[in-house]
């Protein structure tokens, strides 16, 4: 193990200012999730006060570092750090040319908490592929990682996607969720086992040019007393209704 106590340490300086291809995964749950999918990180960072608890997260090849608490806290994004981080390369996903498996397409989802929730929902519902348009929050930011709870490591997350091109080359139906009452009712609509869902920006919804390309628009019937559901919640309702119809419905 190596001890780092100076802010002039060259590694500490690198961690403070990571290139966009790298990220520090913070906390036991994210580190565990990384480990079970990708194996060893580039390095394990442990806070001085937490050595006893997290020493087992370290590896035997020298790439484990104990940081003085005050340094560790500078790298942390939470007020009370657990005391363990993995330094990793963000997995690079090759753009999938043709959309032919269950997927989510996200058009400018800006709130990191919402994006994290949507990724977590997708993973829980069994979807493995997510396309993010430009204008979405950075999926590898602290907040998104925290609210997705490890979903990143079971998903293929494609960023900066041209959704209109993705839709034009699709091989399965794509449905948009909208608030329009002329759209079809989620609960009476026959959802095919293979399809993709397009969800739109928190304020302005789905871009009109994309809406024109989808197979059907779907609304979630709700009481008229509130304007709409949060986009994270809406994504769960459509994905789990698809799952219900596939697995639990007698047709």
Contact residues toward a second copy (CB under 8 A) are 29, 113, 117, 120-121, 123-126, 147, 149-151, 154, 185, 187-188, 220-223, 225-230, 232-233, 236-237, 240-241, 243-244, 247-248
Q: Tell me the longest C-alpha to C-alpha distance in the chain.
A: 66
Both tokens of 66, joined, read 């104990």
Per the CB < 8 A criterion, the answer to whether 148 and 119 are in contact is yes
Phi, psi dihedrals of residue 24, rounded to the nearest 5°: -100, 120
Three-state secondary structure call for residue 120: helix
CB 113 within 8 A of CB 143: yes
Please give the DSSP secondary-structure letter assigned to residue 94.
P
The phi, psi pair for 86, rounded to 5°, reads -110, 135
Dihedral pair phi/psi, residue 173, rounded to 5°: -65, 150
Q: Which of 122, 105, 87, 228 has its CA nearest to residue 161?
A: 105
Alpha helices in the chain (DSSP H): 10-16, 28-38, 51-54, 69-75, 112-125, 142-148, 163-168, 208-211, 231-247
């Amino acid at each position: 193990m190596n001890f780092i106590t100076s802010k002039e340490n060259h590694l500490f300086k690198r961690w403070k200012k990571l290139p966009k291809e790298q990220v520090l995964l913070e906390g036991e749950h994210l580190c565990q999730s990384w480990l079970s999918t990708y194996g060893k990180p580039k390095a394990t960072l442990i806070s001085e006060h937490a050595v006893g608890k997290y020493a087992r997260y370290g590896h035997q090849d020298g790439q484990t570092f104990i940081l003085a608490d005050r340094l560790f806290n500078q790298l942390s994004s939470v007020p009370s750090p657990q005391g363990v981080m993995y330094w990793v390369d963000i997995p690079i996903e090759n753009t999938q040319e043709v959309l032919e498996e269950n997927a989510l397409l996200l058009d400018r989802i800006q709130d990191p908490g919402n994006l994290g929730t949507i990724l977590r929902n997708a993973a829980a519902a069994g979807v493995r592929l997510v396309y993010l348009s430009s204008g979405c929050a950075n999926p590898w930011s602290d907040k998104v990682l925290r609210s997705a709870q490890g979903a990143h490591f079971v998903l293929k997350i494609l960023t900066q996607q041209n959704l209109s091109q993705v839709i034009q080359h699709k091989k399965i139906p794509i449905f948009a969720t909208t608030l329009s009452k002329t759209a079809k009712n989620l609960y009476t609509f026959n959802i095919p086992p293979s399809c993709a869902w397009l969800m739109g920006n928190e304020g302005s919804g789905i871009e009109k040019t994309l809406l024109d390309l989808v197979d059907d628009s779907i609304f979630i019937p709700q009481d008229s007393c509130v304007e709409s559901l949060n986009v994270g919640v809406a994504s769960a309702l459509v994905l789990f209704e698809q799952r219900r119809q596939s697995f639990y419905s007698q047709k």
